[in-house]
Amino acid sequence: MRRPMVAGNWKMHGTRASVAELINGLGQLALPSGVDVAVFPPCLHINQVIDGLKGLPIQVGAQNAAVQAQQGALTGEIAPSQLVDAGCTLVLVGHSERRQIMGEQDGTLIRKFAAAQACGLIPVLCVGETLEQREAGKTLEVVGRQLGCIIEDLGVGVFAQAVIAYEPVWAIGTGLTASPQQAQDVHAAIRAQLAAENSEVAQGVRLLYGGSVKAANAVELFGMPDIDGGLIGGASLNADEFGAIIRAAGN
Ligand code: PGA
């Protein structure tokens, strides 16, 4: 059985004061024991969050990391080894905002994925199609290619120590959610693509859905057989709402 995971991507939100408030809210949640919980604060606040969540069963990850594992001359970047040193256990790789706004391409993402794993961080690989691609009937082709480039370069075995998040770009921050069946169809295709190479890896890897997940739609989404939890943006900035989503994954 795969253990569900609910992760909060705080994106570029927060001040020291608002982060302190959110930490306080997270500390008051009654967390179900069967769900892995993680948050991805802006890098600037990672130390504050790790200190503030000490003793709580909440992992902390980064939203991005450098293409090389170890510290060095790379202005403006943060090495996976530095994230490990700070206490992080996870890192997002290939979020659509980084693919689209920062222009990150497959080659860069393969290097980031490998550098993270070289330090023992668990990469959360984000994949997903745009509205235009969905309407053109290209969803599975696009997602298959985003996943396939990692498999081709690093081997399917890397997904024994990774998480995948399917996030349709048209559902991120828009209030539009993929229907549970639409999400399930893509999750099943992702698992089948992995299973074609290694069925054990395919059965073990956690596939999260992301894109306007709220407490109100989480139960239905998480009830689908290949959806193992969620990557939550906007709703993760509210501790009570995030807590309700976590509980939905525990049911
Ligand atoms: P959203 O973001 O929940 O605000 O749609 C999800 C994400 O980008 O990870």
Q: Tens digits of per-residue pLDDT, 2-14?
A: 999 999 999 999 9
| Residue 214 CA: distances (Å) to CA of 33, 93, 207, 243, 246 | 20, 23, 17, 10, 10
CA distance 38 to 208: 12
Q: How many other C-beta atoms can be found within 10 angstroms of the C-beta atom of residue 193?
A: 17
**Average of per-residue pLDDT across 112-121:** 98
Q: What pLDDT shows up at residue 181?
A: 98
Q: What pLDDT shows up at residue 140?
A: 98
**Average of per-residue pLDDT across 43-48:** 98
Residues annotated in a binding site for substrate = 9-11, 173, 212, 233-234
Task: For residue 85, report the distance from its CA to the centre of ligand 1, in Å.
Answer: 27
Closest ligand 1 atom to Cα of 97 = 8
**Average of per-residue pLDDT across 155-176:** 96
pTM above 0.85, yes or no: yes
Task: For residue 73, report the distance from its CA to the centre of ligand 1, in Å.
Answer: 32
- Active site amino acids: 95, 167
Closest ligand 1 atom to Cα of 231 = 9
251 confidence band (pLDDT: 50, 70, 90): confident
Closest ligand 1 atom to Cα of 173 = 5
Q: Whose CA is nearest to atom 9 of ligand 1?
A: 233
Say if CB 212 and CB 171 are below 8 A apart.
yes
**Average of per-residue pLDDT across 115-122:** 98
Q: What pLDDT shows up at residue 47?
A: 98
Q: What pLDDT shows up at residue 180?
A: 97
Q: Which long-range contacts (CB under 8 A, 24 or more apart) does 98-106 make?
A: 98/64, 100/169, 106/145, 106/146, 106/149
Q: What is the mean pLDDT of the chain?
A: 97
**Average of per-residue pLDDT across 22-42:** 97
pLDDT at 1 over 90: no
Pocket-forming residues, ligand 1, beta carbon under 6 Å: 9, 167, 172-173, 210-213, 231-235
Q: Whose CA is nearest to atom 3 of ligand 1?
A: 233
Considering the domain 5-250 in this protein, what is its CATH number? 3.20.20.70
